[in-house]
Amino acid sequence: MNPTAATKTAEPRSTVTKEGKIKGVSRAALVGPLLALLALPTTLFPVNAEEGLCSMFLMVTILILSALLFSAECAGGYKIPFLSRAATLVLDRAQHPRKNWETHTLRSMGETISWMFISLQLYLTYQDIKISAPLGALCGFGVVVLGDLMTELVRGTSLLATGALGDLHAFELFVLTTALGAGVAVRASTTVPSLGLALVEPIAAGACLVVICQLLLAWNPSHTIGRIVHDRVVNCGPNWNKYTLRSCLETSMWLAATYSIHEWTGDSIGVVKIAVAGGLGGVAGLAICVLGQLTLSHIGECVLGLGFFFFGM
């Protein structure tokens, strides 16, 4: 291997333009989801923040994996008409979030609010993620199909609200994320007193993951595994751009695993929960990164194989 070429590849590229805008950080794609969270009634936020968040991220994982499965061709090139169409729409929302928020702002806002409302309501109704997560994922298919039908009905009118709002300036990013994030936190904290702890645990798990990564890099037999995790951390932006579905699935599974570990700790005190969830969450993140590298990086081949396995029998 040419060391010079490797060095050039590893050189970081600036993500800020001469005008002070951050590349790839869209006004619509950032502000839209935060405004959607603010639009939700406070009564929907579950008291148990960790289990509620675990249910939400588990829904995302099930939704995307189901969409990958249903979008696969069966033996002979046959696809299930309705499910294949719905799966294609879900994958489009996951792979092209910026494009969807920029070109179909109202549709994206409506779909986000509707799906989050339904998902949180399902969790509050059943209080069991084993029931609410699969049902919420199933509802996700219905929401995107309905959103697409509504878009077709209003196509050509001003209701589409198509207007490329462009990239955010660095100062705008700081102000908007701080203001809107604080607004969401204040509204949620009135009904979810444990929200602060729920936000600290992924940070602790992420820090633990970085430490594990550095230890693996320093030890020659595990250097390859360490580089996989190192790539996820250092090249976060490029990974999300090039491997959007893989990054979304890895992140959702990692957060769901971290919050599941919190539930397993029982009635331990807060510091113990953070330590256990952070430590084991870091280990879970390592396993998910390696699993994602081995499987989800070749997601097209996996989908084709799954389609033949499940539908070609």
Residue 264 pLDDT > 70: yes
Percent of the chain with pLDDT over 70: 68
pLDDT at 187: 63
Q: Quick check: 278 pLDDT over 50?
A: yes
**Which band of pLDDT confidence, cut at 50, 70 and 90, is reported for residue 18?**
low
What's the chain's average pLDDT?
75
Work out the average pLDDT over 78-84: 73
At 117-149, the pLDDT tens digits run 998 889 888 888 889 999 999 999 999 999 988
DSSP-derived 3-state class of residue 25: strand
283: buried, middle or exposed (CB in 10 Å: 19+, 13-18, 0-12)? middle
Q: Nearest-CA neighbor of 309 among 79, 76, 61, 75?
A: 75
Give long-range contacts, CB 8 A cutoff, 24+ apart: 218-225. 225/286, 225/290
pLDDT tops 80 at residue 218: yes
pLDDT score, position 193: 57
Mean pLDDT of 270-282: 81
Of the candidates 2, 49, 31, 29, the residue with the CA atom closest to the CA atom of residue 192:
49
164 or 91, which is more confident? 91
Q: Determine the 3-state secondary structure of 40 from DSSP.
A: coil
Find out whether 213 and 230 touch, Cβ atoms under 8 Å: yes
Selected residue with higher pLDDT from 190 and 92? 92
Residue 204 CB neighbour total at 10 angstroms: 19
Q: Each residue of 60-72: pLDDT tens digit?
A: 999 998 888 887 7
Structural contact between residues 108 and 35, judged by C-beta atoms closer than 8 angstroms: no
